[in-house]
A and B are shown apart, each in its own frame.
Chain A
Amino acid sequence: MSSWRFLILNSHYFLGANNMETFLTILLDGLQFSSYLFIVSAGLTIIFGVMKILNVAHGSFYAWGAYTAAFFIGKFSDMGLPDALGFLIILAAAIVVGVILGFIIEQGILKHMYERDEVLIVLATFGLFLVLEDIILIAFGTDPYFAYQPMALLESVELGGITRDVYGITLIGVAAVVAVGCWWLLNKTKWGTLLKAVIFDREMGISMGINVPLVYTLTFIGGAILGGLGGAYIAPTISVAPGLGTEVIVLSFAVVVVGGMGSIAGAAIGSLIIGILRAIAVHELPQVELFVVFAVMAIVLVFRPEGLFAPAKPRKI
C-alpha cells in the first residue's frame, strides 16, 4: 500500500504536471469502474459462495436495476418532482428488482434444481438470462434511456487540476458502504454465523436446525439486490440500452475468478485489479481494453484456479 502512496505523492516527479493529471484521471476512472464492478460482483460471489450457483442471470439483475431506475428517474423528472428523489429511486429500484426477480427465480426455478449438477444450474441461469433480456425489451422498448438528473444535481468538482463529476465519486463511497456492510453482516451478526455454517457444511447446517431453504432464498435475494444496485447506480452515467447485461456478466465473472469465487474480499481485490487495469488500458492503449481483462482472468485460472487470494478450502470427504 505504501508504494501506491509513494507513487501518488511523487508522481509529478516522473510524470510531469500534465501526466499527473492523466494519472489522477486513470486512478479515479479505475476506482469508479472498480466500485461498480465490486457492487455487481459482490452479489454474484455471495450467491456462489453460499449456494454454489454461478448465476449467469446476474447480468439481467444489473440490467433490470438500470432500466427500472432510469425509467422512474425520467418519469419523476417529467412530473416536476425534485431531482433529489433520484437517489431514493435508485435504492428503491435495486430493492424492488432484487426482491421480485430474486424471489421468483429462486422459488420458481432454482429451488427445484439444487440436487442437480452444478453445470446444469449454470445452463438454467443462462436460459433465464435470455428470458429476462427479452422481457426488458418488451417492457422498456429498444430506445435508450437517459437519466442524467441525479448526476446533474451533484455537479462537478475541481480535483488536482482535473474536473470530475461528484456523482462518480460517490460511487466509490457506495461501494465502500457495500463492502463494510457485507463484512459486518458476515462477521458481526448472528445471520453471518448461520451463513458461514451453511457455506462450510450445508448438511451439518441442516442437522443443526438451520433453515437452509430460507437462508438460500434470502441469500439469492440479497445477491440480486446488489446486482440491481450496481445497475441502478450506474444508470445516470450511461445510456441505458439493450445488451447492457451481456457485457457486465462476463466482466463480473472475471472479477470473481481473479479474486476467488465465493469471497467478498476476493471480489474487492478482483474488481480493483480489473478496474485499474482497464482504466490504464482505456487511457494508454485502448486496443487492449477488453483483452487485458480476460487475459488476466485466463492467467489466474491457469495458475491459481481458486483465485489470487482465496484461503485454502477445508477438504471434505
Chain B
Amino acid sequence: MFNDRTAKFLLLAALVICVGGAFAPNWIVNQFMFGFSRALAILGLMVLWRTGLVSFGHAFYFGLGAYAVAILDSKLGVSDVFLRLMAGAVVAGVAGFLIGFIMRNYRDIFFAMLNTAISMVLFGIVVKTESLGSTDGFAISASTIFGLSPETKYPLFVIITLVGLTAALAVNFYLKTTFGKLTTAIRDNEIRVEYLGFSVAHAIHLKYTISTILAGGAGALMAMSLGQVDPESMINWTVSGELVFVTILSGPGNVIAPFIGSLVFEVLRTYAFELAPQAWQLIMGATFLTIIFFLPGGIWSLIEKLGGKKNEK
C-alpha cells in the first residue's frame, strides 16, 4: 500500500491540511469541513459512476445520516462525534444494503429514477411529520470528543479530515481488488463479466452498499459541521442533483478527485453566492454544462494533463 503514489499523496496532504488548519482563519476551516464532509458521499458516488450508474437519489442516504445524528441528539442527547458518525453510516448502510437487493437489478435512468422515488418518499415523510422537525428541521448541539467539548471547530475539522483520509485509502484499496476492478468492466460489458465467472448483481450490490455507507457518513459529518438539519437542504431531490454535480465535476479518475472537486464546489458556491446572490445557481449550472461538454473526465483529468499523465491507476 505504501508503494502506492495515491496513498502517499493522501497521507501527506492530510498531514499538511491538519497542520495548516491550526493556523488558517475560521472561514477556510469551515469550507474544508463542508467540502470534506460532502467529499465522502462523492467518493461513494464515484464508485457507482465508474460502473456507469448515476443515482439521482443519494440524498436519501445523506439525509438518513444527517437525521440519525439529529434524532440521537434531540431524543437521546448523544453528542459524541464518533457515535454520531457511526450511527449515520450504519443507519444509511443498513438501509442501503436492504434496498440494494432491489437496486442491483436496475440500470441507467431506471436506477436513477428508483433512487429519486425512494429519496422523495423520505422527503415526503419528514416534511409532513412534526416529530421529525417538519420543514424546520433540528438544530444540533455541538459535538463532543471522548466527553470533551472543544472550544473551537478545529478538532472536528481534524476528525473530518482523518475520516476522509481513511475512507479514501479504503476505497483506493477496494478499487485495486478484483471486485473493485469490476467497476469499469461492468460499465463496458456486463455479459462478459458474467462469462468471466463474476456475479454482476453481487458486485453492484456491494458498490451500492459502499456508496450508501459513505453517503450516510457524509450526512452525519455535514450535520455536525453545519449544526442543523432540514429536509430542503438534506433530502430533497435537488440535493441528490448537487451530489451528482460534484461527482461529475470531480471526475472518476482517482480517489483524490472527490476531495478536490468538493472543495472547488464549496469555493465556487461561496463566491458565486457573494458575487451574484440571485445567479449562483446559474453559475453552477453553466459550470456543470461546461464540464459535461468540454471536460468529461472532470477536474481530475485536468490535473492529470498538467501533471503530464503519470498514470496513477
Contact residues in B for A117 (Cβ distance below 8 Å): 52
Residue ID in chain A nearest B291 by CB atoms: A127
Find out whether the CB atom of A128 lies under 8 angstroms from the CB atom of B285: yes
Contact residues in B for A135 (Cβ distance below 8 Å): 282
> Which of these, B54, B114, B128, contacts A286 with CB under 8 Å?
B128
Query: Once bound together, how far apart are the Cα atoms of A56 and B56, in whole Å?
Result: 11
> Which of these, A118, A124, A132, A286, contacts B292 with CB under 8 Å?
A124
| A124-B289, A287-B128, A287-B129 known; A294-B284 Cβ under 8 A | no
> Which of these, B120, B236, B280, B292, contacts A120 with CB under 8 Å?
B292
Find out whether the CB atom of B124 lies under 8 angstroms from the CB atom of A290: yes
Query: Once bound together, how far apart are the Cα atoms of A282 and B127, in whole Å?
Result: 14
Contact residues in B for A302 (Cβ distance below 8 Å): 102, 114
> Which of these, A134, A286, A301, contacts B113 with CB under 8 Å?
A301
Query: Once bound together, how far apart are the Cα atoms of A250 and B124, in whole Å?
Result: 12
> Which of these, A109, A126, A133, A297, contacts B244 with CB under 8 Å?
A126
- Interface pick from B6-14, B103-111, B202-210, B256-264: B103-111
Residue ID in chain B nearest A119 by CB atoms: B54
Find out whether the CB atom of A131 lies under 8 angstroms from the CB atom of B281: yes
Interface residues as binary, A278-317 with B (CB distance below 8 Å gives 1, 0 otherwise):
0000000011111111110110011001000000000000
The prevalent SS among residues of B at the interface is helix
Query: Once bound together, how far apart are the Cα atoms of A287 and B131, in whole Å?
Result: 12
Find out whether the CB atom of A295 lies under 8 angstroms from the CB atom of B109: no
| A129-B285, A130-B285 known; A295-B121 Cβ under 8 A | yes
Find out whether the CB atom of A134 lies under 8 angstroms from the CB atom of B114: no
Query: Once bound together, how far apart are the Cα atoms of A293 and B121, in whole Å?
Result: 8
Contact residues in A for B292 (Cβ distance below 8 Å): 120, 123-124, 127
B138 at the interface (CB under 8 A from A): no
Contact residues in A for B278 (Cβ distance below 8 Å): 134, 137-138, 142
Query: Once bound together, how far apart are the Cα atoms of A117 and B187, in whole Å?
Result: 12
Residue ID in chain B nearest A120 by CB atoms: B292
Query: Once bound together, how far apart are the Cα atoms of A133 and B278, in whole Å?
Result: 10
| A130-B288, A246-B238 known; A119-B112 Cβ under 8 A | yes
Find out whether the CB atom of B279 lies under 8 angstroms from the CB atom of A138: yes
Find out whether the CB atom of B102 lies under 8 angstroms from the CB atom of A250: no
A119-B109, A137-B279 given; name 20 further pairs at CB < 8 Å. A54-B109, A119-B52, A120-B292, A123-B244, A124-B288, A126-B245, A126-B288, A128-B289, A131-B282, A134-B282, A254-B117, A254-B120, A286-B128, A289-B128, A291-B128, A294-B117, A298-B118, A301-B114, A302-B114, A305-B110
By a beta-carbon cutoff of 8 Å, the part of chain B in contact with chain A is 52, 54, 56, 102, 106, 108-110, 112-114, 116-118, 120-121, 123-125, 127-129, 236-238, 241, 244-245, 248, 278-282, 284-286, 288-289, 292-293
Q: Name the 3 nearest CB pairs between A and B, nearest first.
A: A290-B124, A130-B285, A127-B288
By a beta-carbon cutoff of 8 Å, the part of chain A in contact with chain B is 54, 56, 109, 112, 117-120, 122-124, 126-135, 137-138, 142, 246, 250, 253-254, 257, 286-295, 297-298, 301-302, 305
